[in-house]
Amino acid sequence: MITIKSEREIDLMRESGALVAQVLDLLQSEIRPGMTTKQLDIMAEEYIRDHQAIPSFLNYVPKGDPGVTPYPSTLCVSINEEVVHGVPSAKRVVREGDIVSVDCGVYKGGYHGDAARTFVLGMIDEKVQLLVDATSECLARGIAMAIAGNRLHDISSAIEDYARSYGFSVIENMVGHGIGSELHEDPAVPNYGRKNTGVKLREGMTLAIEPMIALGRSRRAVSRRGGWVAVTEDGKPSAHFEHTIVVRSGKAEILTGTFL
């Protein structure tokens, strides 16, 4: 069931979203080659708890899948071919030339905020830089379609069309989602689809829009060794950007910062 948020609820989501943005700003300023992904995770958790909030992802278990091991960390830190859900580790070091996708969720005041950015460490291949830039633009174009009266897959189509215009692949089995008092709510927000299809967007819908775009031909992310982390099928790099937004008349409102 899709819920329409009241302005009071959106105010609370604005607070959690602002904190997500602050965490990602902090990590963007601090990430360096030679750091471990665990160091990033500790930094994020300390910041979130210092601001009287709770990490959304820590100990998360997907609904309807109680057999899954609870997610063990505050952040998802996914490097290069890792699409999403990279689990931070004291043994995993970020290096010069990596692209590092960091996904962060915060629960505060009864509501969640969720956002992701892909950070570039030093000099990288020109095609990989184009992938990162294009994925960020995919997010911007998707958000631009999140207007009351449009259809859900207008968002999806805008993302897919831009990604494919560069020959990049859309990861089809990883999607955005509704968000609010639950981290994952209806509707699913795919990154591919046909214009003028899907549910009609209404003012007050809150969505986490998150294109995950790959350099190679992968259209699916596959689990590595049965764990949380999902990687491209062909081992090519993938980028990930995400914002939590509110559907409005005329222009969507971004709740998780202004990095676009």
Q: Is the N-terminal amide bond of 55 cis, ω within 30° of 0? A: no
Element (H, E) at 232: strand 230-232
In this prediction, residue 258 carries a pLDDT of 77
pLDDT greater than 80 at residue 92: yes
Examine residue 217 and state whether it is found in any structural domain, yes or no.
yes
Q: What is the pLDDT of residues 137-186, one digit of tens each?
A: 999 999 999 999 999 999 999 999 999 999 999 999 999 999 999 999 99
pLDDT at position 259, please? Answer: 67
- Is 12 a member of any domain? yes
pLDDT at 78 over 90: yes
Instruction: Calculate mean pLDDT across residues 233-250.
Output: 97
For the chain, what is the domain count? 1
- Which domain CATH number covers 82? 3.90.230.10
Which residues, at least 6 apart from 88, have a Cβ–Cβ distance to it below 8 Å? 36, 37, 38, 40, 41, 73, 74, 75, 77
pTM: 0.96
Q: Is residue 129 part of a domain?
A: yes
Residue 48 lies in a domain: yes
Instruction: Give the pLDDT mean for 85-93.
Output: 97
Average confidence (pLDDT) over 41-50: 98
Q: Is residue 2 a part of any domain in this protein?
A: no
Evaluate whether residue 259 is within a structural domain. Answer: no
Q: Tell me phi and psi for residue 173, to 5 degrees.
A: -100, 10
Q: Which domain holds residue 183?
A: 7-254
Asked if 177 and 134 touch (Cβ cutoff 8 Å), the reply is no
**In this predicted model, what pLDDT tens digit does every residue of 103-137 receive, in sequence order?**
999 999 999 999 999 999 999 999 999 999 999 99
CA distances from 23 to 10, 202, 213, 229, 256 (A): 20, 30, 23, 22, 10
* 1 in any annotated domain: no
pLDDT digits (tens, 9 = 90+) for 51-66: 999 999 999 998 766 6
pLDDT category of residue 218 using cuts at 50, 70 and 90 = confident
pLDDT surpassing 70 at residue 97: yes
Q: How far is CA 84 from the centre of its chain?
A: 8
